[in-house]
């Protein structure tokens, strides 16, 4: 018996800066997880991943990450993905610098 498909978001890293980004429904790359397109259909998820993977001059390492619907948009369901939403862990820059 196959597993039930769990909702996903497409995530990658910007090629030049290395920042974590998420593919939105209107084909933008956003640094904010809650702006990502929450994909609830497996075939659609694969198509979006192919679309993201083809953008080799913009992003690298595109993959599907488990997510769930939240009050303000998709929320990560795994520790690794929640950690990636907070930005670099070595010192304050990127998303962390914006919070200061």
- Please report the pLDDT score of residue 88 as a whole number: 65
Specify the 3-state DSSP secondary structure of 86.
coil
- 10-residue mean pLDDT series, the chain (100 residues): 89 93 97 97 98 97 97 94 79 62
- Rounded to two decimals, the pTM is 0.85
Q: Strand ranges (DSSP E) for 1-100?
A: 8-14, 20-23, 29-30, 59-70, 73-76
- Please report the pLDDT score of residue 63 as a whole number: 98
């Amino acid at each position: 018996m196959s597993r039930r498909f769990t909702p996903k978001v497409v995530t990658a890293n910007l090629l030049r800066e290395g920042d974590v980004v998420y593919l939105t429904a209107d084909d933008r790359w956003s640094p904010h997880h809650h702006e990502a397109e929450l994909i609830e259909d497996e075939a659609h998820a694969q198509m979006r991943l192919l679309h993201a993977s083809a953008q080799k001059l913009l992003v690298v390492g595109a993959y599907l990450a488990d997510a769930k619907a939240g009050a303000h948009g998709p929320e990560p369901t795994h520790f690794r993905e929640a950690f990636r939403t907070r930005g670099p862990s070595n010192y304050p820059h990127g998303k962390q610098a914006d919070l200061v």
